[in-house]
Amino acid sequence: MRVVVQRVKQAVVAIDGQPTGQVGQGFVLLVGISDHDTETEIDYLVRKITNLRVFSDDNGQMNLSLKDINGGILSISQFTLYANTKKGNRPSFTDAGAPDFAEKMYELFNERLLTTGVPVETGTFGADMQVTLTNDGPVTIIFDTGQK
């Protein structure tokens, strides 16, 4: 799995101009699934993301987690995280998970995030979405379970 974590002040995802999910202070997660991913990767990422200490404490140090600030998550599926650009100018997405498998894993990932007590909103798997956000910092962290 590949997840891009963006610390945000706010974010909204919309489909055809209609908001389908939004979050205040917290994270936007761009989530890519491969066919090799398992529940082990999901559990690892849920633990790492919900405990990631990138929010400022009273001294201005990145020392607080999402849970500490009562932040939320806006989770967006994004198969393009598995783009292969080695040949030519048109990316290949053959490393991305098959749609049926990826959708099940994405839904399971979001369910596991919810069990931590963190509010989670989502886009719609496979839809053409527009994401508007205010990146805070900016702080952007990339997790790739193939490199852990």
Distance between CA 73 and CA 113 in Å, rounded?
9
**Mean pLDDT of all residues in 70-99:** 92
For residue 146, what pLDDT is reported?
86
How confident is residue 147, by pLDDT bands cut at 50, 70 and 90?
confident
pLDDT tens-digit readout, 11-69 = 999 999 999 999 999 999 999 999 999 999 999 999 999 999 999 999 999 999 999 99
Q: What is the mean pLDDT of residues 93-116?
A: 95
Give the active site residues: 78-80
